[in-house]
Structure 1
Amino acid sequence: MHIVFVSREYHDSKRGGGIATYLYDLITLILEEGHQVTLITASDDTREESVEKKGNFTKINLSGGDFVIPQVESGFVTIKKFRIFFRFFSYRLKILKEVLKLKNVDILEVSEFGAESAFFRKFNFPVVYRLHTSSLLDRSTGGVFKFKPGLIPNFFTGYFEKRSLAHAEFITSCSMSLKEWTSKYFEIPESKIQVLYNPINLNNWHFDRTEESLNTHKILYVGTVSYEKGVGDLIEACRVLLKKGFNLTLTIAGKLGNYGLRLQKELEGETWCEFLGHIGKKELANVYESHSLAVFPSHWEAMGLVALEAMYSGALVIGSREGGMSEIIEEGKSGFLVKPKDPLALADRIEEVLKLPIETKLQISKNAVDQVVNSFSDKKIVPEFLAYYQEVTKIYRN
């Protein structure tokens, strides 16, 4: 098959997040199966355009993106942030023109996030809309954002996301939670949405966890450092435990942003907390295996690939009850779940896990690894994607 992906981010982008990781892993694994893949994405430097080809993989980096990365394009950054409005239509027309140039396409997948399909029409191949998380989803409430002037870009983009999905024939979701949210707030029948979990490419990770590592009081958070991810709640929970006499450390790995930089400044000089910033997979693997506990107290999470990574490393994982992490963590068996936005409850749960007997910790660690391998690994998930693509292609042609 010739499979085309349209995404505003990819793994080598400075804007890369969960979608970028999902796409990189999925594309890598699909290529290994011998299929042809074309990716249409945006250059970090919106003044540049290029095409990269390697074997069966073609990556088209478009210019004219509706964003700005200050480290890449300095000067008049405040004005350039309004590109979401004055480049929205021109960039999406550019995507459409690029799609129309392609030949022998069997299927195309595009994320609902960012509404990059705003000008898509009926092609001679099917289009699958992949749910990752809408611009309108308020992680703090699990609902839709209430209007505020600062959220005008979200409502502007969200309008086109909703409009595109209303006309979509084929939709997949990275979790049941996101499927239910989209069905409820975008009024799309649940029967129209197929849940296909994001796969984790096990070849990317090599761990050598020791029994001793599970008996330490080393706590880890991985991911974007933001309020909605519950990082502030985790810091407060750790402070509660420090006051109770726990000799613990907290390591925070991931993109900081303004919120993260503020937290980093507030904690300056406190040796129990360390900010690593964004780090590569090899270094991250060492970080995972040296920490006993990985905590992801997001207010709402579509799925949480970092939770899968931590589970596969053998760490004891605490995740949020709200959203997709509750679908990948079996309470008390392969990890633990906690109510978000409650630092005291989080502190109690961390204390409970730290005090578990080593035999129990070892069993939960093993269960976590087994669950990732059996339910979320590339060998389990990628065939499901390819089978779905083939089924959609068949339905479309008939």
Structure 2
Amino acid sequence: MHIVFVSREYHNSKRGGGIATYLHDLISMILDHGHQVTLITASDDTRTNSIEVEGNFTKINLEGGDFIIPQVEPGMITMKKFRIFFRFFSYRLKVLREVLKLKNVDVLEVSEFGAESVFFKNFDFPVVYRLQTSSLLDRNNGGVFKFRPKLIPNFFTGYFEKRVLSSADYLTSCSYSLKDWTSKYFNIPADKINVLYNPINLKKWQFQRTEESLASTKILFVGTVSYEKGVGELVEACKILKSKGIDLTLTIAGKLGGYGKNLQQELKDEKWCEFLGHITKKELNTIYESHSIAVFPSHWEALGLVTLEAMFSGALVIGSAEGGMSELIDDQETGFLIQPKDAVTLSHLIEKVLNLPLPEKSRISKNAVQQVIESFSDKKIVPQFISYYQQVVDDYHANSKAK
């Protein structure tokens, strides 16, 4: 098959997050199965176009994106932040034109996030809409944002996200939690949405977890450092434990942003807390295996690939009970679940995990690794994607002939 992906972000982009990781892993594994893949994405420098070809993979980097990365395009930052409005349609027309240039496409997948498919219609191939997380989803309560002036960009983009999904024939979701949210708030029939978990590419990771590492008091957070990710509550929980005389360290790895930079400044004199900023997967490999506990106390999360990465490293994972993480962790068996937004309760759970006997830590660690291999690995998930794409292609052409 020739499978096309359209995405606002991708691997090594300075804007890269969970969607970028999902696509990089999925594309690399689809290529391993012998299929052809084309990716249409936005250049970090919105002044440049480029095309990269490697074997069966073509990556098209488009100019004119509706975002700004200050360190890439300095100057007039305030004005450039309005690109979401004055470049919204022009960039999506560029995406459409690139799609129309492609030959022998079997199926195209595009995320609902960003509504990049707003002009898609009347192709001679099917379009799969991948639910990743709408601009309207309020991670603080798992609902929809209440209107505030600073959220106008979310409501502007969210309007078009909702519109494109209303006419979609083929929908997938990265979790049941996000499927339920979309069905409820966007009025999409639940039976139209197929859940295909984001796969983890096990070949990317070479962990050498030791029992000694599980006995350490090194705590880790990986991901965008934001309020909604619960990083503030994690820091407060660690402060509580430090006040009780527990000699722990906290490593925070991921993009900072305004909230993260303020938190970093607040903790600049605290030697027990280290901010690493954005790091590579190779660096992250060593970081995972050297920490005993990984904590992801998000207020709400569609899935959380870092949760699977940490579990596969053998870390003792504490994840949020709200959203998709609850579908990944078997509480007390492969990790631990906690209700978010409560630093005191989180401190109690971290202390409990730190004080577990080493054989119990080892049992949970091994269970987590095995669960990832059996339920979320590339060998398990990628064939499900390929099978789904083929079913969509067959269904699309069968319906086209019937018309």
Superposed pair shares fold, TM > 0.5 = yes
Using the TM superposition, give the Cα deviation of residue 269 of structure 1 relative to its aligned residue in structure 2, in angstroms. Answer: 1.2
Residue equivalent to 1:372: 372
Aligned equivalents of 1:24, 1:11: Cα separation in 2 = 6
SS at match of 1:197: coil
Residue equivalent to 2:148: 148
Unaligned residue ranges in structure 1 (runs of 5+): none
Question: Is residue 180 of structure 2 the alignment partner of residue 168 of structure 1?
Answer: no
Question: Is residue 266 of structure 2 the alignment partner of residue 275 of structure 1?
Answer: no
Question: Is residue 172 of structure 2 the alignment partner of residue 139 of structure 1?
Answer: no
Question: Is residue 258 of structure 2 the alignment partner of residue 258 of structure 1?
Answer: yes
**1:1-398 alignment runs, 5 A limit:** 1-398=1-398
SS at match of 1:270: coil
SS at match of 2:322: coil
Aligned equivalents of 1:269, 1:75: Cα separation in 2 = 32
TM-score (norm 1): 0.99
Aligned equivalents of 1:75, 1:33: Cα separation in 2 = 45
Report the residue type matching 2:214 in the other structure. Answer: L
SS at match of 2:64: coil
Report the residue type matching 2:257 in the other structure. Answer: G
**CA-to-aligned-CA distance 1:126-166 (integer Å, 9 cap, x gap):** 00000000000000011000000000000000000000000
**CA-to-aligned-CA distance 1:213-269 (integer Å, 9 cap, x gap):** 101111000000000000000000001111111111100000111111100100011
Aligned equivalents of 1:200, 1:48: Cα separation in 2 = 31
Using the TM superposition, give the Cα deviation of residue 50 of structure 1 relative to its aligned residue in structure 2, in angstroms. Answer: 1.0
SS at match of 1:263: helix
SS at match of 1:187: coil
Aligned equivalents of 1:307, 1:180: Cα separation in 2 = 21
Report the residue type matching 1:359 in the other structure. Answer: P
Using the TM superposition, give the Cα deviation of residue 313 of structure 1 relative to its aligned residue in structure 2, in angstroms. Answer: 0.4
Report the residue type matching 2:200 in the other structure. Answer: I
Report the residue type matching 1:30 in the other structure. Answer: I
Using the TM superposition, give the Cα deviation of residue 125 of structure 1 relative to its aligned residue in structure 2, in angstroms. Answer: 0.4
SS at match of 1:386: helix
Aligned equivalents of 2:68, 2:266: Cα separation in 1 = 28
SS at match of 1:66: coil
SS at match of 1:348: helix
Report the residue type matching 2:88 in the other structure. Answer: F
Which aligned segments of 4 or more residues in structure 1 are displaced greater than 3 angstroms?
none
Aligned equivalents of 2:381, 2:276: Cα separation in 1 = 31
What is the number of residues matched between the two proteins?
A: 398
**CA-to-aligned-CA distance 1:328-347 (integer Å, 9 cap, x gap):** 00000000000000001101
SS at match of 2:229: coil
Report the residue type matching 1:269 in the other structure. Answer: D
Aligned equivalents of 2:78, 2:303: Cα separation in 1 = 32
Aligned equivalents of 1:174, 1:146: Cα separation in 2 = 25
Using the TM superposition, give the Cα deviation of residue 283 of structure 1 relative to its aligned residue in structure 2, in angstroms. Answer: 1.2
- When the two chains are superposed, the root-mean-square deviation of aligned CA atoms in Å is 0.5
Report the residue type matching 2:189 in the other structure. Answer: P
SS at match of 2:233: helix
Using the TM superposition, give the Cα deviation of residue 122 of structure 1 relative to its aligned residue in structure 2, in angstroms. Answer: 2.2
Aligned equivalents of 2:242, 2:50: Cα separation in 1 = 52
Using the TM superposition, give the Cα deviation of residue 85 of structure 1 relative to its aligned residue in structure 2, in angstroms. Answer: 0.2
Report the residue type matching 1:260 in the other structure. Answer: G
Using the TM superposition, give the Cα deviation of residue 80 of structure 1 relative to its aligned residue in structure 2, in angstroms. Answer: 0.4
Aligned equivalents of 2:322, 2:273: Cα separation in 1 = 26
SS at match of 1:52: strand
Aligned equivalents of 2:201, 2:229: Cα separation in 1 = 24
Percent of aligned pairs with the same residue?
A: 73
Report the residue type matching 2:115 in the other structure. Answer: A
Aligned equivalents of 1:125, 1:324: Cα separation in 2 = 31
Unaligned residue ranges in structure 2 (runs of 5+): 399-403
Using the TM superposition, give the Cα deviation of residue 204 of structure 1 relative to its aligned residue in structure 2, in angstroms. Answer: 0.6
